[in-house]
Amino acid sequence: MAQMRQSPPTDMERNMEKIITIFQRYAGKEGSQASMNIKEFENFMNIELGSFTKNQKDPNILKKMMGSVDGGIDGKKDNEMDFQEFLNLIGGIMVACNDALAKCPPPQKNPAPATPPTEMEASMESIIRCFQHYAGKKGDKNQMDYSEFEAFMKTELRSFTENQKDPNIVRKLMESVDGAVDGRQDKQMNFQEFMNLIGGIMVACHDAMMRHLKRV
Ligand SMILES: [Ca+2]
Ligand SMILES: [Ca+2]
């Protein structure tokens, strides 16, 4: 662990850490530890997101998905997916899930899913539900306003928020993503803007962990 924690991690922190760990588990199988090649990515998708993968009709879907993000961050089409490119892809799947979940009402009873969710699916769903919980407190249920976002940051990412020297950090974070996706600086954060922000925090954690690993 790169940092000592004063308090036990929240569910949100646990899920963010889990996604980083899962990426590292597959990216570390061969070649660069910091990126996935197509074999590592196929392995990840078939095992962790198997229910998504097996529903796709296109046999080349995984190659196409990888092609759609490869080079988007580092500018190199090198058939390697780094963590930020990976998060862009996962974030896209989560945005689609969030839209689907927002459209259908929550089930009255909880029917047991045919197959239990994988660790990755459980973490993704739990992050979506966390966003919906805070965004749904008032006003637009699909958007976080400033006070909803502040409540989220102070409760779910408490140790991150408390470690920041800048007392305006929460406002600045919100301003940094507001309008980046929907083009409207309306002081409302939609799920995709939220994922950009959470993704940025996760990339910073992942980079810190890789630097730490290089030192030992
Ligand atoms: Ca690798
Ligand atoms: Ca709201």
The ranges assigned to domains in the chain are 11-103+120-140+191-215
Task: Classify 11-103+120-140+191-215 by CATH class.
Answer: mainly alpha
Beta-carbon contacts of residue 139 (< 8 Å; ≥ 6 apart): 145, 188
pLDDT digits (tens, 9 = 90+) for 97-132: 888 877 766 655 556 656 789 999 999 999 999 999
CA 192–ligand 2 middle distance (angstroms): 14
CA 16–ligand 1 middle distance (angstroms): 20
More confident residue, 142 or 101: 142
Which residue type, as a one-letter code, is found at position 205? C
- Per-residue burial over 78-111, b if 16 or more Cβ lie within 10 Å, else e, is eebbbbbbbbbbbbeebbebbeeeeeeeeeeeee
| Dihedral sign computed on CA atoms, order 96, 102, 105, 106 | positive
pLDDT digits (tens, 9 = 90+) for 21-54: 999 999 999 999 999 999 999 999 999 999 888 8
More confident residue, 108 or 206: 206
* Other beta carbons less than 10 A from residue 54's beta carbon: 9
d(C-alpha 210, C-alpha 205), whole Å:
9
CA 68–ligand 1 middle distance (angstroms): 18
pLDDT of residue 1: 47
3-state secondary structure of 89: helix
CA 54–ligand 1 middle distance (angstroms): 23
162-170 average pLDDT score: 89
